[in-house]
Amino acid sequence: MFQFFLLPFQLIQKSLEGIGRYVELMASMFRSIFTWHKNLNLVIDHMYQIGVLSIPIVILTSLFSGMVISVQAAYQFESGFVPNWFVGSVVGESILMELAPMMTALVMTGRIGATIAAEIGTMRVSEQIDALESLSFDPISFLIMPRILASAVMFPILVIIADCFGILGGLIAALNSMDVSFVEFIRGLRNWFRPWDAWFGLIKGLFFGLAITSIACYQGFYTTGGATGVGKSTTATVVVSCIAIVFLDYILAALLL
């Protein structure tokens, strides 16, 4: 019974210890970022792995997300009190400000976050990181900094791709299944568009990318317990990253809008 009452305090203690290790790891990463040019090949390689190889799945998810938003908007407007060209406005604002960065981040959590945590976690439990340290290599500048720097560059680019194909998907759905012409859709798209809406989505993509990769690197870097520990780190990366994305989504909206 006494241990039951101690459980919340133990969870709080473990959470604070984890936050402290995370902050320490990120501080070390930022100190090593000034030597990025020494690992430029690694940065480019991770940019390819994180960005280029993720383009097909980003295109698919954003395309169908735009279609769904377009169909749902048309369903809401079918009463006739709202002009058809409002569909373009709804699709454009929803994609630019919310769906493109959010869907991209959630998809990349499973694809990139889990992969990074598994890679670094496997290196930790197989003592490869210890070997790097024994050879006077800084594992943070060699393993963590290139991945985080690559995500900071590529995530906004992926959001731009998601914006384009999300709006394209909404346009295709509007033309094929609703009484909305191309001119009406573009009119609605332009009517409510503000440049800040696009910048807001890119800023969210940047923060989401940094959160996903930094959490994955942290979970992998402090993995213990062999293969079971790698699996736990991978699962924790996905769960914590999803929570962080939703939290950051609200914080950024409250601060920037």
| pLDDT beyond 70 at 4 | no
**2 domain residue, yes or no:** no
**10 domain residue, yes or no:** no
Q: Is 51 helix (H, G, I), strand (E, B) or coil?
A: coil
**139 domain residue, yes or no:** yes
Quote the number of domains for the chain.
1
- Whose CA is closest to 29, among 111, 115, 118, 120? 120
**141 domain residue, yes or no:** yes
Q: Which domain holds residue 115?
A: 37-256
Q: What is the mean pLDDT of the chain?
A: 87
**51 domain residue, yes or no:** yes
Q: Tell me how far the alpha carbon of residue 76 is from its chain's centroid.
A: 30
Q: Tell me how far the alpha carbon of residue 57 is from its chain's centroid.
A: 13
**21 domain residue, yes or no:** no
Whole-number pLDDT of residue 5 = 61
Report CA-CA distances (Å) from 190 to 32, 155, 184, 246, 250: 44, 25, 10, 28, 26
What are residue 42's phi and psi, to 5 degrees?
Answer: -65, -40
**204 domain residue, yes or no:** yes
**25 domain residue, yes or no:** no
- pLDDT bin (cut points 50, 70, 90) of residue 194 is confident
- Whole-prediction pTM value? 0.90
